[in-house]
Amino acid sequence: MFFVDTLEFEGLGNRSYLAGGPSAAVVVDPPRDVDQVIALAARRGVRIAYVAETHVHNDYVTGGLELARLTGAHYLVPAGAHVCFPRTPVADGDTSEVDEYLVLRAIATPGHTPHHTSYVLEEEGRAVAVFTGGSLLIGSVGRPDLVDPRLTEQLARAQHASVHRLAATLDDAVPVLPTHGFGSFCSSSQAEGDASTIGQERIGNDAFTLDIDAFVKRILAGLENVPAYYTHMGPANAAGPAPVDLTPPDPADAAQIAERLAAGEWVVDLRNRVAFADGHVAGSFNFEGTGKLAAYLAWLIPWGKPVTLLGDTPAQIADAQRELTRVGIDRPAAAATGDPASWVRQGEQLAFFPRAGFAGLADAHERGEDVVVLDVRRDSERANGFLEGSVHIPLHELHGRTSEVPDGTVWVHCAGGMRAAIAASLLDATGRRVIAVDDGFEAAAGTGLSITRP
């Protein structure tokens, strides 16, 4: 009997897989922090015989090379991928015996990247699962614009052909197990659901329901901004990532925190947005540890800028440190935990700003207050409706565009509150008066606020 275990990384919207038989297994698209993969294999009582990459990833740093080194596994990497380390190159149709009666078969599925490869797990010659990486996703496909803008349309067409090839090769009942697509920015669009089969995708995925020209037109029209940190992920993976160091960062006292802020370093407060608004170190930024920490922090921070982490507990710091290594932010410069009052020097006070809902914003309008409404949602979100008169600066652009925010008290909102809290902290750090709208955008409709819809 075979098994497939899923490792889910909600912050990046990705999954990795451990699959095998009674004695041996393969790991597909492993995370940078491989200790958890090794622990999972140990609990299963299996040897990791193979580590397989579907492609050179653009959205996170892989742990494949290190995992193969630690376990002695064969490292399967698509033959067309240009990498700078020894590996077992995999071409279309190649097979690897994972365990008795259990084989991994490679299928070339270009589109997300030119060299993208999917892997079919076969038990006694019967396909029982397909690891589709960034090719066929649940209700979507991997975006084709991350390699070279000149190749985007060509890769979109290849993506369409690749998923049709998978469907022609596999039975409808075969489970589809992608790496991306659970909130990942590597997905060409966001779809609902966390499990699917080839047959379900035939019915509900645009790659099957649209002809190739209509599919390409739709996918190209729906592509949004590429996170800035993606620029660094592909080269890091091609070069061969170094092992991670997850030992605790050096502790920072109030004086050191102030010195790091004065030096222009980033001090990141991981606490929830309510606690941050109620009291924080002036100049620090709020990226909730339970939100999409790695994706948004890596997107906004100038690459290579030292980071000091502030949190409630050492465990919160450790979780954040682990997540940040997955996007190449390897070692926090320092960290502090405990009572936020201890993070400021004697005689200094914590900063704070108000929070409100859309009803509070409507009341402010009625009172005739000098109100600036800042919408930090993405372009596609705003296209579905926005508050009349609001200023639009997507969150990922705000750090470099704070001077464009008009004078006045800034009421900043997103779709649900998390990104508004990040944006409010960025503005607060510049000395602006801010109010974070901690509310779902759908609540605005019942407050009397004017909403412009297409």
The region, left, alpha or beta by phi > 0 then psi within -120 to 50, assigned to residue 214 is alpha
Q: How far apart are CA 199 and CA 248, in angstroms?
A: 47
By C-alpha distance, which of 38, 102, 115 is closest to 69? Answer: 38
For residue 449, the model assigns a pLDDT of 95
For residue 370, the model assigns a pLDDT of 87
For residue 122, the model assigns a pLDDT of 98
Q: Taking the CB of residue 402, how many other CB atoms lie within 10 A of it?
A: 17
For residue 182, the model assigns a pLDDT of 80
By C-alpha distance, which of 135, 139, 115, 127 is closest to 179? Answer: 135
pTM confidence score: 0.93
CA triple 15-297-380, angle to 5 deg: 75
For residue 188, the model assigns a pLDDT of 66
Q: How far apart are CA 207 and CA 202, in angstroms?
A: 8
Instruction: Give the pLDDT confidence of 124-169 residue by residue, as tens digits.
Output: 999 999 999 999 999 999 999 999 999 999 999 999 999 999 999 9
Ranges of residues in the chain whose predicted pLDDT is under 50: none
Q: Taking the CB of residue 211, how many other CB atoms lie within 10 A of it?
A: 8
Residue the block writes with tokens 């502790």: 251
Structure tokens at 228: 């800035």
Instruction: Give the pLDDT confidence of 324-341 residue by residue, as tens digits.
Output: 999 999 999 999 999 999
190: CB partners within 8 A, 6+ apart: 140, 181, 183
The count of residues in the chain is 454
For residue 143, the model assigns a pLDDT of 94
